[in-house]
């Protein structure tokens, strides 16, 4: 079955860049997503990338996709303390957004 | 983006009672809604897919008689945890998708259920 893996923790200093990595196993994944979850809250969709794209940039966020290696990364430029949260990588097949397989989440801690 | 609202955000119930959680799409019609369960420090586990006007599709291992899902309108899906037990305590999150070809799903803020 599908499997999505992430490193569990990342700590950076305010102003630095953060890079959160994710690997997945399902080569038929069509969309790959990054979500942010703050304590006690639901998930906020940050960005997503279609599998035929290599890169997507949206303000401070850059998503890189290496489809050959099934590797996805999220880079946050100029990381702020408000970026501290859990970041989930997820994949879905076709246009079946919402029915996704999630990684275990990476807890990002931003130190002042 | 679109707004999905869950209610209640927190609920405490006694063991053996039932509790209903609502998931509403506030500014769009959701043909499909999804219910997830999140264990502490763990990822989200898809419980079921809820389609408006039809029976929900449950994932393997999820008891359909225990977790009753109703999607009676295009803006509301409900999850009822029946005869709740302490092991049902968890964070339940719903998501909603507008159309069949919509690539984005929007998540509610989650419901923290504690069964005592």
3-state secondary structure A13-60: ECCCCEEEEEEECCCCEEEEEEEEECCCCCEEEEEEEECCCCEEEECC
Contact in structure between B64 and B58 (CB atoms under 8 Å): yes
Task: Please identify which residue in the block is written with the tokens 């029976």.
Answer: B55
Helix (H, G, I), strand (E, B) or coil at B87: helix
Contacts of A102 in chain B (CB under 8 A): 43-44
Distance from CA of B83 to the nearest CA of A (A): 25
Do the chains contact at B102 and A31, CB–CB below 8 Å?
no
List the B67-73 sheet strands across, edge first: B4-7, B19-25, B76-81, B67-73
Do the chains contact at A105 and B1, CB–CB below 8 Å?
no
Residues paired with residue B23 on neighbouring β-strands, in sequence order: B6, B77
Do the chains contact at B104 and A95, CB–CB below 8 Å?
no
Q: Is B52 on the interface with A (CB under 8 A)?
A: no
Contact in structure between A27 and A92 (CB atoms under 8 Å): no
Q: Dump pLDDT digits (tens) for B29-81.
A: 888 899 999 987 778 899 999 888 888 999 999 999 999 999 888 899 999 99
- Least confident among A23-37, B9-23, B59-73: A23-37
Higher pLDDT, A94 or A83: A83
With cut-offs at 50, 70 and 90, classify the pLDDT of residue B102.
low
- Report the mean per-residue pLDDT for chain B: 90
Q: Does residue A93 have a pLDDT over 90? A: no
**How deeply is B74 buried, as exposed, middle or buried, from its count of CB atoms within 10 A (0-12, 13-18, 19+)?**
middle
Q: Does residue A1 have a pLDDT over 60? A: no
Q: State the pLDDT at residue A45.
A: 86
């Amino acid at each position: 079955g599908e499997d999505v893996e992430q490193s569990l923790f990342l700590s950076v200093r305010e102003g630095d860049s953060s890079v959160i990595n994710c690997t997945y196993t399902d080569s038929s994944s069509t969309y790959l997503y990054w979500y942010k979850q703050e304590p006690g809250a639901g998930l906020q969709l940050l960005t997503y990338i279609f599998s035929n794209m290599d890169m997507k940039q949206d303000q401070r966020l850059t998503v890189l996709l290496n489809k050959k290696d099934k590797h996805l990364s999220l880079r946050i430029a100029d990381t702020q303390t408000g970026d501290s949260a859990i970041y989930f990588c997820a994949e879905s097949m076709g246009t079946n957004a919402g029915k996704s397989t999630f990684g275990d989440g990476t807890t990002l801690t931003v130190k002042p | 983006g679109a707004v999905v609202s869950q209610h209640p955000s927190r609920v405490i119930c006694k063991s053996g009672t039932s509790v209903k959680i609502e998931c509403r799409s506030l500014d769009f019609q959701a043909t499909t809604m999804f219910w997830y369960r999140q264990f502490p420090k763990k990822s989200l586990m898809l419980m079921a897919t809820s389609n408006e006007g039809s029976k929900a599709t449950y994932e393997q291992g999820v008891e359909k008689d225990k977790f009753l899902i109703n999607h009676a309108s295009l803006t509301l899906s409900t999850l009822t945890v029946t005869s709740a037990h302490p092991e049902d305590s968890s964070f339940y999150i719903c998501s909603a998708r507008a159309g069949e070809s919509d690539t984005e799903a929007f998540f509610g803020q989650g419901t923290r259920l504690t069964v005592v």
